Amino acid sequence: MHRARITITDASATPVNGRRILARVLPYLWPAGQTWVKVRVIAALVFLVLAKVITVATPLFYKWAVDSLSGVVSGPAAMMALGAVGLTVAYGMARLMNVAFQQLRDAVFTRVGQRSLRLIAGQAFAHMHQLSLRYHITRKTGGLSRIMERGIKGVDFLLRMFVFSLGPLVLELVLVCGTLLFLFDIWFMLVVLATIVAYAIYTLLATEWRVKIRRRMNEQDNDANQKAIDSLLNFETVKYFDAERREVGRYDAAMEKYEDAAVKTGVSLAALNFGQSLIITVGLTVVMVLAAMGVQNGTMTVGDFVMVNAYMIQVTQPLNFLGTIYREIRQALVDMGQLFDLMGESAEVEDKPNAPDLIVTAGEIRFEDVRFHYSPEREILKGVSFTVPAGQTLALVGATGSGKSTIGRLLFRFYDVTGGRITIDGHDIRDVTQASVHRAIGVVPQDTVLFNDTIGYNIGYGRANATQAQIEDAARAAQIHDFIASLPDGYQTQVGERGLKLSGGEKQRVGIARTLLKDAPLLLLDEATSALDTRTELGIQDVLQHAGANRTTISIAHRLSTIADADQIIVLDQGQVIEQGSHADLLARGGRYAQLWSHQQAIAPV
């Protein structure tokens, strides 16, 4: 529990623009056109003010009751007429009303706060899906999830602190100071103000000192968390290499560094808390001495002394909490800043303004002198050109790193070309919406990744609102229905994290089934049968050939036997087309393709 709390109190060396962050949050609390939200906010503020007015008035009933017991008349006649018992009851009622208004404030504002969190979380999640594949490849998923998690927690904390703690605290301090100035000597108010100012300055300076320590602690927390997630996601690999002790050692080393940073954080926190307590205690003592002197010289009553003590308790208790509020608000601003920075990341691939949807009429695909690089120092594709006539199949073969998968990613528009253009039915895919391009292409990847849900859900993911009958038809087409039906839970069988409970071939067939269910006019097969045994592969090839009928298909293959029937085959080498033609033509040429074919036939299982 202690570790979880520390994780929240992160810090960063990056300067935080609090105004910018608050400006991003305020529209969620005061949205245009949402009258009901504004009414709730106003009502919450009204209840807040009423609660604090009653809080400040409550010690007056305490004072009048004490003076009444002492035989001193110190309040309005109507109040003193109630007597000590009546004033004590009024004191109790005032405390109850204070709690009632606070709870009403919380109840009214809760809907506003939770709505704001849902909207921010939804927008952040949607934006993460809009970012480019390059961004997600270069960033750690665990780190992104932490940024989003902490940012949402930061928004939640900030809303609660401003509405439920900091705002009421500031209002209460103003009312208490005003009351002390009105009822007593100005020195009472000056001492309270001096205590507050000294406390705030000390807290600010001490917290800034602790920033670097907390940042280091949080970095180690992130590192340990990432190592744990990475290790668990690669559970099978860890087992393959008998590396459990190695993984535990790496995790423990990260946690040891976190431990050292956490200890330093705890020590610095103790120093901060002691200094805060010292300032508050000195302020409380000075005010009480002034009140005691007033009682002795007859300018104040015993009730006044009790009331001043009550006010100081009301002030000092929130001030103790103020240190925590400041530290947490500072960290919440850092976390929110990271979240809003993430939401401000520009998508590498964006639609042009008012871009139309792609309408696939025939399905012709053309690559015209396409060039592409992930980094300028290393060009992947170097002027690749080819045409896939509508309804035909093009196969891409070549050594690892020749650019085969890159062509598939460019066609799907995970990236934009750096030279040349790609067209579908004559339309440059950069001129149409990404969503329409994605809808037009069905993809069966080499490594099928499944959601941690049921088999039925994963197949049904291929088409929104697919019926059970459609899901089962797709499973039959992918030759996996009988296997699913043999399972105790059938289509409700959980597949585990990334499909861990299924074999490679079973996962691949689930991926094929959901792509068949999508029923897109264009088909991209990225070594779609690589995880299947020879017998299953032959059956799936028939399925894929049937699925590719009347569809334009690009098939990326390693095993040449799977693409021998393609209408045309392109051989890639270091990002360039070195051979192109049908299977028979390429064999007759005796070039690179023929060499690859002969090699694979020689090592093929008998």
For residue 304, what are its two tokens?
């006044």
Q: What is the pLDDT of residues 270-310, one digit of tens each?
A: 888 888 888 888 888 898 888 888 888 888 888 888 888 88
- Strand 393-398 relative to strand 552-556, pairing: parallel
DSSP letter (8 states) at residue 432: S
pLDDT grade for 422, boundaries at 50, 70 and 90: very high
132-157 mean pLDDT: 69
* Comma-separated ranges of CATH 3.40.50.300 domains in the chain: 365-373+387-406+419-573+582-603
Rounded to whole angstroms, how far apart are CA atoms 386 and 384? 7
Instruction: Evaluate if residue 3 carries a pLDDT over 50.
Output: no
The class of domain 365-373+387-406+419-573+582-603 in CATH terms is alpha beta
Rounded to whole angstroms, how far apart are CA atoms 152 and 117? 7
Q: How much is the pLDDT for 83?
A: 79
Rounded to whole angstroms, how far apart are CA atoms 272 and 534? 69
Instruction: Evaluate if residue 7 carries a pLDDT over 50.
Output: no
Rounded to whole angstroms, how far apart are CA atoms 63 and 380? 83
The secondary element (H helix, E strand) that includes residue 83 is helix 83-130
CATH ID of 17-343, from 1.10.150.240, 1.20.1560.10, 3.30.70.20, 1.10.1060.10: 1.20.1560.10
228 or 153, higher pLDDT: 228
* Comma-separated ranges of CATH 1.20.1560.10 domains in the chain: 17-343
Q: Which residue has the tokens 């004033």?
A: 87
For residue 243, what are its two tokens?
């590396």
Asked whether the beta carbons of 137 and 414 are under 8 A apart, the reply is: no
Rounded to whole angstroms, how far apart are CA atoms 558 and 396? 9
According to DSSP, the residues that pair with 181 across neighbouring strands are none
pTM of this structure: 0.64
Rounded to whole angstroms, how far apart are CA atoms 9 and 329? 9
The secondary element (H helix, E strand) that includes residue 443 is strand 441-444
Q: What is the pLDDT of residues 8-59, one digit of tens each?
A: 334 444 455 667 777 777 777 777 777 888 888 888 889 888 988 888 888 8
Rounded to whole angstroms, how far apart are CA atoms 586 and 568? 10
Query: Which amino acid type is present at position 323?
Result: G
pLDDT grade for 1, boundaries at 50, 70 and 90: very low
- The strand ranges marked E within 484-529 are 522-526
Name 575's Cβ contacts closer than 8 Å, sequence gap at least 6: 379, 380, 381, 382, 384, 402, 403
Rounded to whole angstroms, how far apart are CA atoms 397 and 380? 15
| Sheet of strand 378-388, all strands in order from the earlier edge strand to the far edge | 378-388, 365-375, 419-424, 427-428
Q: What is the pLDDT of residues 555-603, one digit of tens each?
A: 988 788 888 889 999 999 989 999 999 999 999 998 899 998 888 887 7
Burial of 277 (0-12, 13-18, 19+ CB in 10 A): middle
The alpha carbon of 142 is separated from its chain's Cα centroid by a whole number of angstroms, namely 10
